[in-house]
Structure 1
């Protein structure tokens, strides 16, 4: 394993090797769900300047293998989140980016539930404390 330096800013880290669904590794064309979701995230981000404050980054395997199509949302000094069980398409990518934009604007990574896009509700797997902190 080698580490690659990326910008340390609000980011969606997409697992590009995730399963397509709970039952299938790949779609009918042989593409992994994670690769499809990462491509959708890049395309949606490029289509709308409202997502300019959020980076889309990729890496193989977030080790959330009991789930599928997972992403890690992170930013310096903020609580992070791992979300999954997405359909790897534009609608899911837009919901993730909409949430990520709200997250980037938040003080510590907490977005009020009433502001959550419907497309991310039910997709949270875990939250992670920022380096050097825990949540009270």
Structure 2
């Protein structure tokens, strides 16, 4: 049921997420989460330090195209309602890179890519910690 992955900065994409609020799949029958994962991988700049992983169903089914941004020892974030396209992928990877470079996972708002603003759903504490 679980597959081990490297414990490093990562964007976990819900591979079974809806394509949009109104459609489960696109015209070709592809789920939005799978398309978003492909878009993220297509623009990755080699080994930029942020891994892209897929996981079926993050249980945010009221939303579409949901991702979990995480890194060891840092606060994590669940974001959703993205279009499964290159612009969303660029915004997500930009934030994930800044998140990975931060000390505790808190990226100053002024550094947020406009494409992630309004997409935050949940903030999660890192294992063994809570935020103060």
Q: Which residue does the alignment assign to 1:28?
A: 27
Q: Stretches of 4+ moved more than 4 A in 1?
A: none
SS of the residue aligned with 1:24?
Answer: coil
SS of the residue aligned with 1:52?
Answer: coil
SS of the residue aligned with 2:53?
Answer: strand
Deviation digits for residues 67-90 of structure 1 (CA, Å, limit 9, x no counterpart): 100000011110000001000000
Distance 1:38 1:68 in 2: 13
Q: Calculate the TM-score normalised by the size of structure 1.
A: 0.95
Q: Which residue does the alignment assign to 2:6?
A: 7
Deviation digits for residues 76-115 of structure 1 (CA, Å, limit 9, x no counterpart): 1100000010000000000000011100100000000000
- Give the superposition deviation at 1:52: 1.2
Matched, 1:82 2:81: no
Distance 1:132 1:103 in 2: 19
What RMSD, in angstroms, separates the aligned Cα atoms of the two structures?
Answer: 0.8
Q: 2:65 aligns with which of 66, 69, 83?
A: 69
Q: Which residue does the alignment assign to 2:36?
A: 37
Distance 1:52 1:7 in 2: 14
Q: 1:131 aligns with which of 124, 127, 132?
A: 127
- Give the superposition deviation at 1:57: 0.7
In structure 2, the gaps of 5 or more residues are: none
